[in-house]
Amino acid sequence: MTFLTELGGVLSNFKNLLFLTGALLAPNLVALVARQVGLGRHFTPQFWGRLGLAIFLLMTASAHFSNPGVMAAMLPGFLPLRIEIVVLTGFLEIALGLAIVVPQVQRLVGWAIMAMLLGFLPANIFAALNYIPFGGAEMGPAYLLVRVPYQALLIGFVFWASQTGNRRPSERTKQ
């Protein structure tokens, strides 16, 4: 096998993460281009980040409804009502995804998203340690070398988008 073939095989295991990262960052990239041509100066980069988070969460929520049985396998067997937990967390992701773009609650919602992501991490670890065939976890523990840092970066992105840069420049000078 050539290096590119091997690299393609490794990247295919992370195609979902790559796709979701594109959805997360796309609004900021569009805003950057818009600013360069004189459009979109009324919104902060964090606003576009929150829009990306909304898209990201709505997309991840869709898996909770299209594959609840597969996602339920990511939860330890001793948990009751695993499919119901998957469906409820899908609704949670939808609610948080919609709420993160509401300025009045963005900080609180940001903290809720960060807590949710921390809460989901044990399921990702369990799935990887048990080679659950969903979202790359079938790679086993090696998947965690990407997934755990990704989760940390995602939490950092949520913090940046929801907790920083939310005031207009005129509001910052008043302090």
95-119 pLDDT, tens digit each: 999 999 999 999 999 999 999 999 9
Provide the whole-model pTM: 0.82
Does residue 16 carry a pLDDT above 50? yes
- Each domain of the chain, given as residue ranges in start order, spans 15-165
Long-range contacts of 23-32 (CB under 8 A, 24+ apart): 23/52, 23/55, 23/56, 23/59, 24/52, 24/53, 24/55, 24/56, 24/154, 24/157, 25/52, 26/52, 26/55, 27/51, 27/52, 27/55, 28/52
